[in-house]
Amino acid sequence: MTTDLNDIPAIALKWHRAGTGAALATVVETWGSAPRPVGSQLAISGHGDIMGSVSGGCVEGAVVVEAMDALDDGKPRLLEYGVSDDEAFAVGLACGGTIRVLVEPVGAAISEDLLAQLVEARAASTPIAYTVDTESWVRELVGPDSFPERFKSDKSGFEGSLFVAIHNPPLRMAVIGGVHIAQSLLPMARAAGFAPVLIDPREAFASAERFPETTLLHDWPDAALDAVGIDARTAIVTLTHDPKLDDPAIQAALRSSCFYLGCLGSTRTHAKRVARLVEAGFDEAQIARIHAPVGLNIGAKSPAEIAVSIMAQIIQTLRQG
């Protein structure tokens, strides 16, 4: 089985188990216009192979040297690098910054068992946080209840001397209706880091020709959403204008933990939708979760502009609640 090149913990575990040795370098703190966010990781093998990044190229060489020393003595390191404006310009950055990097040799610092548990949780799309106390060097894995706000905002960082690395499942988006807006929305979703799926039992609408490089499900929306599985990292958008298709998806979404539900339609259309939902037994608080008319009010008119407004509202909901 091949390893995802973006799954840095899994790569480090693979190198360690292959006997080459491995260290994990993690950005734990930044100041100014640092090139990579907190939580970014670089895996370094005992042969000097690297995967991932902590600075976009500025300090990787220095981190590799420290990682090799860490593999020799088995001790973790907290390193700090200033990126000057000249250096930043050399790698195409707008301005300089400072980063703090934690280097941990696998086996000696972070145990193989703990890293394997982290890799397994990530593979199972289970939200988990890796914590390390930079004074006592005690490490453990904890769930979302320990740091709910950090999980919600995807924000790794320090709590006193404790560094909390958030490992959330991938963001996903389920779009109901292979309409013109969806043709613009799905590529935007991919560009923003979402794994989108298009659901529409009408194969003429949800065709590979109209939606290349897109996962297409031609089942009835509620059945398709059940098969996909809805979690707190899922956004759902209904676009068909047809209650026979939209309503089953909306009801499934309202019973789920999805972080966003947006529904296309005018204020008048939404009022009729609300009446149907009340009749189906949904209460005011549940119905209030729906963003309708869907999208931020930016005066959008074309399908592409409406898609921009929807994508912006999804990101706003994700990051700001």
The domain limits of the chain are 8-167, 171-320
- Which residue, 249, 242, 239, 256, is CA-closest to 186? 239
pLDDT in tens, the chain (321 residues): 445 667 999 999 999 999 999 999 999 998 877 778 899 999 999 999 999 988 877 788 889 999 999 999 999 999 988 765 555 544 444 456 788 999 999 999 999 999 999 999 999 889 999 999 999 999 999 999 999 989 888 899 999 999 999 999 889 999 999 999 999 999 999 999 899 999 999 999 999 999 999 999 999 999 999 999 998 899 999 999 899 999 999 999 999 999 999 999 999 999 999 999 999 999 999 999 999 999 999 999 999 999 999 999 999 999 887
The answer for residues whose C-beta is within 8 angstroms of residue 96's C-beta and 6 or more apart is 32, 33, 82, 83, 84, 85, 87, 88
Bond before 293 cis per omega within 30 degrees: yes
- Alpha carbon distance 303, 26 (integer Å): 41
In this structure, are residues 49 and 64 in contact, taking their beta carbons and an 8 Å threshold?
Answer: no
Determine the distance from the C-alpha atom of residue 215 to the mean position of all C-alpha atoms in its chain, rounded to a whole number: 18
Q: What is the pLDDT of residue 60?
A: 85
In angstroms, what CA-CA distances link 301 with 161, 270, 308, 309? 50, 19, 11, 10
CB proximity list for 269: less than 8 A, separation 6 or greater: 241
Third-level CATH fold of 171-320: Rossmann fold (3.40.50)
Q: Indicate whether this model's pTM tops 0.85.
A: no
Contacts of 89 (CB under 8 A, 6+ apart): none
Task: Give how far Cα 262 sits from Cα of 28, 243, 266, 288, Å.
Answer: 35, 14, 12, 11
User: What pLDDT score was predicted for residue 1?
Assistant: 41
Q: Is 44 helix (H, G, I), strand (E, B) or coil?
A: strand
- In what helix (H) or strand (E) does residue 81 lie, and over which residues does it extend? strand 77-83
* pLDDT for the residue 86: 57
Q: Which DSSP string do the residues of 251-317 spell out, in sequence order?
A: HHHHTS--SEEEE-S-HHHHHHHHHHHHHTT--HHHHTTEESS-S--S---SHHHHHHHHHHHHHHH
Q: Bridge partners of 22?
A: 45
pLDDT of 308 reads 98
- How crowded is residue 153: how many other Cβ atoms within 10 Å of its Cβ? 15
For residue 182, which of 191, 174, 172 has the smallest C-alpha distance? 174
Contact present, 104 and 23 (Cβ < 8 Å): yes
- pLDDT for the residue 244: 95
pLDDT in the model for residue 4: 64
Task: Give the count of beta carbons closer than 10 Å to the beta carbon of residue 86.
Answer: 8
